[in-house]
Chains A and B, each alone.
Chain A
Amino acid sequence: MDHTRRDGGHIGSEYFALPGSRVPPNWKGACTDIMPRSIRDSAIVIFLIAGGLVILFSSDKNSGGNVITRTVYGIVSPVQRAAYAGYRHVRYTWDSYVALVGVQEENRNLKKQLADLKRQHAALLAEQRENRRLRKLLNLKAQHEFPSVVAQVIGEDAVGWHRTFFINRGSEDGILPFMAVTAAEGVVGRIAKTSGEMSQVVLVTDPNLAVDCRVARTRDRGVLTGATENKCVLKYLQPGSDVRPGDEVVTSGLDGIFPRDLPVGRIDTVSQDDQRLFLQARVTTAVNFSEIEEVLVILGEQGGFDIRSGMESRP
């Protein structure tokens, strides 16, 4: 690039020259005749610095602004207001419309996150409940002296006329018909049918099932049969027995299916039977069958709590 002017001088050399530098002879600057270039530049620098210092030390801090300031403000103010209004307008437009695209996306993400968290929360609660139930069953299992299998309820009676449900354990797990099924709260029923991986359980509330029971307080014996939902009838109680509402009913262990002293339920009412030969009591079961999800199947034959006639239970 050629920095040489047509007259032979360098471009820009009319504005600034170092002290001692040579000024071209053909240059026609206005100041060159009065003072050398270097002195002029130094004077400008000093003048401006000095002016700044004068303004700095002479200005009154408490004054509301001098004429120059006010004038400049007066000129700048409308432009600045207009610029600010424009900025606000643009900002409002951005926030209200353009940025909403992001907000909508963010909102969608947050909703998704919320749904995920809710799902996780529900899953955790379900696991917590399951954990509590299994802990109860584990305690029950530890209390029993015989082997048992924990099973999950996977289905219910096909037609609903009878009180049965299905569990996910079968003969492959050592389950056989007539084995006792219990829960943490008490007796559930007994195994009716089994296949390799599934079994049918008849509940104590089914009229087809009879369990030999005792009233825990008086030790009176009776036969418990199903009546209605969550209700049973304890039959053949001796007429003179002191059975009262609120008494706990437990298994006697004499039927060879259920171990003794497993809770069955509590007596609601006591009355005489139709023939007036025995007393009978309505019993509310300890287990709520509509909420049951896991059960414990007592492997009677393997456990050896088989009760021979005349023996109530093994010590």
Chain B
Amino acid sequence: MKKEKHPKLEDLLADLIGKELAKALSQLGEVEIELQDVQIMAEKLVLTIQPSALMRKEAVPVLEKPKELIMSRFEPPKEEWVGKVVEVKIGATPSEGGTRDRTIVIGGESAPAFHLFMETPPHPPIVAMDVFDMEISLPKAIKKYYGDVMSDPVEWARFNVEKYKADMINFHLISTDPLLKDTSPEQAARMVEEVLQAVKVPICVGGSGDPAKDQKVFEKVAEVAQGERILINDVTLDMDVPKMGELTKKYGHAIIAFTSMDLNQARELNRKLYDYLGKENIVMDTTTAAVGYGIDYAFTIMERARLAALMGDEELQHPMAAAASNAWAAREAWIKLPPEWGPKSLRGPIWEAFTALTLLFAGVDYFMMIHPVAVELTRNVINGLIRGRKELPEDLYEWIEREA
């Protein structure tokens, strides 16, 4: 064994180990190579190279720019959800003991809202239209769509179904409020009967927000609507929950359990209702806030509720309801603003539509809405998400380089 300096090392190495490595080695400066067996047969040449020697200079990766597209495939993700939302049926047809011309089923999801690669929602979300039992102050942008019918709840309900093809009516008995007209439970129940006669779609009946009075009103309303399977809006923790549960069951209705942005309360209320009612009769409302006015809280509470339900939390496996008409609480929906923000007549309905659209993505199944344009838009969005068509526009590139 002997050491020698080889003046033409680079060439020799290039033959043996390839040009690139040889070049890298030569750049290290003076190199000593041990040669075993001086009978130089190329195959028997052993190079002892300390790895650290090669590391002395930072290796710059030589990028070979691809010349062809490297074809790859997209693998759709796989999600696992174990829970399922219960289905709640609203309304009853003659064969079911009621007089409605259709029934509506909400809920039944087993994947997060519009994870359409996992599941097409079994039932499309419903947009129900509001009717109030007395004239209330509403922005002009809304009033102009209703005009005279607002003074007659029965006409208003009929108008919503005939003109705007409402899937359901939310009838709000606000006049029963002791601080407003203090309408009696009997009188309120009569109004509900009249609405049930005027329209054949399923209905939802709401109170005034006074827990003691609502309790009495719902007792009467539930009784006169027996068999129609109305949706009672709502029961809260400060009402007599057992009594509300009992009357809902006794007369065969469904009910909205309302809590204010607190999932523990939502669970507690549902749990209390389970003693009297099957799960398939309960819809949850965890409070709706408008875009710009707390929708982030409303959205996240609902999204958490739905994800928890899908992860197996049985106390939250209920369809969700949201009053998107609360959007009008946001001042930007109706206030006068500088001209660059456009007319109020458009800002209002888009506010309500955006509020609904946002909550659609949290998993809401049942919307209560008021502006006819917002209602139509929300229905269009739901259609586009669920029953949408498959054919694409012809030219998918033109928008980049053409006048709009």
| Real binding pair | no
Which residues of B line the A interface, CB within 8 A?
none
